[in-house]
Amino acid sequence: MNDTANVPENHAPLNHVESCPDPRHFNFTARVLHWSMALMILAMLFVGIGMVSSLSLRPALISLHQPLGIAILLLVIVRLINRLRHRPPPLPADLPAVQVFAAKASHWLLYALMFAMPLIGWCMLSVGGYPVTMFNGFALPAIAPHNATVYAVFRSAHTWLALLLFATVLMHLAAALFHAWVRRDDVFASMARGYVTNAKTLGEEKEHENSANE
Amino acid sequence: MQNTTSTPDLLSRRLTWLPLLAIGFIVAAIVLAFAWVAGWLTPDRLTPARFTNAIETSNGQVHRGFRRAHAKGVCVAGYFEGNGQGVELSSARLFSTVRTPFIGRMSIGGGSPYGLDNKARVRSMALQLNSDDGQQWRMAMNSFPFFAVSSVEAFYEQTAANAPDPATGKPDPAKVAAFAAAHPEFARFAEWAKNTPWSTSWANTAYNSVNTFRFSNPAGEQHHVRWSMQPQTAFVAMSPEEREAADDNFLTEDLMARLAHGPLRWDMVVTIAAPGDSITDPSKIWPEDRRKVTVGSVVIESSSPQTSGACRDINYDPLILPKGVDGSEDPLLAARSAVYSVSFNRRQYDIATGKADTAIGQASSQETSP
Ligand code: HEM
Ligand code: HEM
């Protein structure tokens, strides 16, 4: 699929790209937020499932889970603003339409879940009559009134959406590695660091883009 | 895409399968790790859900919408009045000379909401105290002064041993005996249950933290403590004959009658551990001569049925604590916190799914067995 033999011959389009406004990679803020939040979310999923299945670790894990979850809520706001203000690098032009759709849909699903999960956590504690403890001596205010039925709904949503988030994160990870190792295009690199490593695909992409006038 | 030579094609195809395999392997490893942490791969590992299942089994039946333990009780309300003596021990706001309102619950041990008051050896008091600094302290205390067994696992075994035998509807005596033999500390509890006189009321019963907590004062000094709510209402013993004759709901009736005449009070007495006292084993009592400080009093002013009262939808998790109070290394506390949460989730879910008409006071008669 990926013929790397042509690489050295594609210097010209690369030079051309440098004068073009299309970004080749996510900006620094986006990359830092992406990787730190990736770690935090994976940690949250494991801490969450661990604390509800352990008879000994719950106190320690819950005191990590709640502030870390709210930190994710704050970071995702910053991240979304940054994302809306800075155009992300385009996907490779030769990416099949289904994969383009899957990529875009899953990215927005990830944003939605990064927002929803901590908000549901906060709501769930509020309607469950629990203090929303952040750290010793500090708790967030309740954002909804104490109610058994609403608690049950939010509590279930927290579990099922966590599992959906986990599945989406795994698909996202698999797709990113697919880009890096199988397609060997620049998608992974565009988030991994600032430089495009594979000049060939970039060249192709630029040509396609120019012709498609995207 | 179209290669003219076959060698690079073969090579690249092989190179495609390798990374795909690697990706599959990485994803599978993460899923497996998650499943392992969740306990899905280890059906024998004791989890909060499995502990709660065992409690439900030993109850003989799931009473939808009710607490899976201490199912029968009544909501109460009142306040805690600090006398200032606790300030040197803990920075918890309620130890100052202020009144801190609470929503509480008086209950009896056991998993049936129709338990017989005159057969319930264990009586309980639970409080959710809301300080004016926004902090909360939840306590769930029992009338026994020490726990029956010394570990979470032992309590699980006790719960399992007490499950009714399907053939007789009663616990299997062989299992109960085997449990007692395996846990010699249980004999002390059995002796307490047998020989300690019963009192006539929730009002003249003492309620104990049983587990050890840690107080810290503003100077950062820490003390391991246990506490007891000591009734100001005079102790009156109840003879076995009186108990036989007493109504199934005599505790609630008695409480309402007393509250009609005025509030009921308990002194909160904090006992401070000395070096060497057991922190991690709630079945071990501390010597009588330990320093004790009376830090204030619990005042109950009113009661309401648990089907509609504010205590119904509260999880009296003993690890919801204000600044100045922490859990100790006692492993029972973490286990309680975890299991209470599962019990709470299940009963709230019962209510949400409309399976709990009795528990929320919307059924005309007692629920029937499923
Ligand atoms: C990205 C954000 C979050 C993720 C991925 C996440 C994930 C999880 C997971 C996987 C569980 C276990 C669910 C189960 O097995 O039923 C859980 C439980 C829980 N989460 Fe979160 N969570 C997040 C945010 C929050 C926040 C912000 C709070 C509160 C402020 C919170 C509070 C809780 C609580 C209290 C539980 C346990 C409830 C119980 O024992 O019934 N979570 N979470
Ligand atoms: C590992 C040991 C224990 C387990 C597994 C356990 C389990 C439970 C469960 C499942 C509930 C119902 C919670 C709810 O649905 O809200 C409960 C309630 C209660 N437990 Fe425990 N318990 C343990 C130890 C203790 C100890 C040591 C005490 C006494 C200090 C205690 C006192 C209470 C009280 C007073 C309640 C009733 C609280 C209320 O009125 O809501 N428990 N327990």
Residue B187 lies in a domain: yes
Contact present, A69 and A118 (Cβ < 8 Å)? yes
Across the interface, which of A1, A51, A136 has its CB nearest the CB of B16? A1
Q: What is the pLDDT of residues B294-310, one digit of tens each?
A: 999 999 999 999 999 99
Residue B259 lies in a domain: yes
Residue B370 lies in a domain: no
Q: Decide which of 3.40.50.40, 3.90.420.10, 3.30.300.180, 1.20.950.20 is the CATH code for A26-213.
A: 1.20.950.20
Q: Do B51 and A166 touch (CB under 8 A)?
A: no
Residue B266 lies in a domain: yes
- AA identity, residue A112: A
Residue B363 lies in a domain: no
A23 CB within 8 Å of a chain B CB:
no
Residue B1 lies in a domain: yes
A166 CB within 8 Å of a chain B CB:
yes
Q: What was the pLDDT predicted at B10?
A: 54
Q: Degrees (nearest 5) of the Cα angle B157, B162, B166?
A: 120
Please give the Cα distance from B172 to B165 (Å, whole number).
Answer: 6
| B70 catalytically annotated | yes
B232 CB within 8 Å of a chain A CB:
no
Domain locations in chain A? 26-213
Share the mean pLDDT of chain A: 84
Q: What pairs with residue B137 in β-bridges?
A: B129
Please give the Cα distance from B157 to B155 (Å, whole number).
Answer: 5
Residues in B closer than 8 angstroms to A136, CB to CB, are: 323
Q: Which domain holds residue B151?
A: 46-352
Nearest residue to B248 (alpha-carbon basis) of B108, B360, B370: B108
Domain at B312, CATH number:
2.40.180.10
- Higher-confidence residue of A119 and A209: namely A119
Please give the Cα distance from A141 to A70 (Å, whole number).
Answer: 13
Indicate whether A6 pLDDT > 70.
no
Q: What is the pLDDT of residues B271-330, one digit of tens each?
A: 999 999 999 999 999 999 999 999 999 999 999 999 999 999 999 999 999 999 999 999
Pocket residues: Cβ below 6 A from ligand 1: A 41, 44-45, 48-49, 52, 65-66, 69-70, 72, 117-118, 121-122, 125, 132, 155, 158-159, 162, 165; B 341, 345
Q: What is the pLDDT of residues A86-112, one digit of tens each?
A: 888 888 899 999 999 999 999 999 999
Q: What was the pLDDT predicted at A208?
A: 37
Residues in B closer than 8 angstroms to A177, CB to CB, are: 19, 22-23, 26
Please give the Cα distance from A52 to A50 (Å, whole number).
Answer: 6
Residue B309 lies in a domain: yes
Contact present, B296 and B95 (Cβ < 8 Å)? yes
| CA neighbours closer than 13 Å in the CB half-sphere of residue B172 | 11
Q: Closest approach of chain B CAs to the CA of A85, in angstroms? A: 32
Inter-chain contacts counted by CB atoms under 8 A, chains A and B: 126
Nearest residue to A115 (alpha-carbon basis) of A65, A63, A78, A155: A78
Q: What pairs with residue B303 in β-bridges?
A: B76
Instruction: Please tell me the number of the ligand nearest to residue A54's CA.
Output: 1
Tell the residue number behind the tokens 């939840």, with chain if given.
Answer: B138
Residue B17 lies in a domain: yes
Percent of chain B clearing pLDDT 90 (strictly above): 92
B274 CB within 8 Å of a chain A CB:
no
Residues B30 and B79 in one domain: no
Residues B183 and B266 in one domain: yes
3-state SS assignment for residue B134: coil
Q: What is the pLDDT of residues A139-189, one digit of tens each?
A: 999 999 999 999 999 999 999 999 999 999 999 999 999 998 988 888 888
Residues B3 and B117 in one domain: no
Number of domains comprising chain B: 2
Q: Do A55 and B339 touch (CB under 8 A)?
A: yes
Residues B213 and B308 in one domain: yes
- Closest residue in B to A155 (Cα) is B345
- Closest residue in A to B314 (Cα) is A129
Burial class of residue A17, CB neighbours in 10 A (0-12, 13-18, 19+): middle
Q: What was the pLDDT predicted at A121?
A: 98
Question: How many angstroms separate the first and last alpha carbons of chain A?
Answer: 24
Instruction: Please tell me the number of the ligand nearest to residue B318's CA.
Output: 2
Note the residue count of chain A.
214
Residues B285 and B321 in one domain: yes
- Closest residue in B to A183 (Cα) is B16
User: Which residue is closest in CA terms to ligand 2's atom 25?
Assistant: B336
Instruction: Please tell me the number of the ligand nearest to residue A120's CA.
Output: 1
Please give the Cα distance from A104 to A116 (Å, whole number).
Answer: 18
Q: Which one of B63, B70, B223, B224 is the catalytic residue?
A: B70
Cα dist. A94→A21, A89, A125, B73, B206 in Å? 20, 14, 47, 68, 76
Q: Closest approach of chain A CAs to the CA of B41, in angstroms? A: 12
Share the mean pLDDT of chain B: 94
Q: Do B47 and A54 touch (CB under 8 A)?
A: yes
- What average pLDDT does range B225-241 have in this prediction? 97
Range list of H helices, B211-249:
240-245
Pocket residues: Cβ below 6 A from ligand 2: B 51, 55, 67-70, 73, 105, 107, 124, 126, 140-142, 147, 152, 155, 209-211, 282, 315-316, 332, 335-336, 339-340, 343-344, 347
Question: How many angstroms separate the first and last alpha carbons of chain B?
Answer: 65
Please give the Cα distance from B7 to B15 (Å, whole number).
Answer: 12
Name B125's Cβ contacts closer than 8 Å, sequence gap at least 6. B104, B105, B106, B139, B140, B141, B202, B207, B229, B266, B298
Q: What is the pLDDT of residues B87-137, one digit of tens each?
A: 999 999 999 999 999 999 999 999 999 999 999 999 999 999 999 999 999
What is the pTM for the complete model shown? Answer: 0.91
User: Ligand 2 centroid vs B154 CA: distance in angstroms?
Assistant: 15
User: Ligand 2 centroid vs B156 CA: distance in angstroms?
Assistant: 13
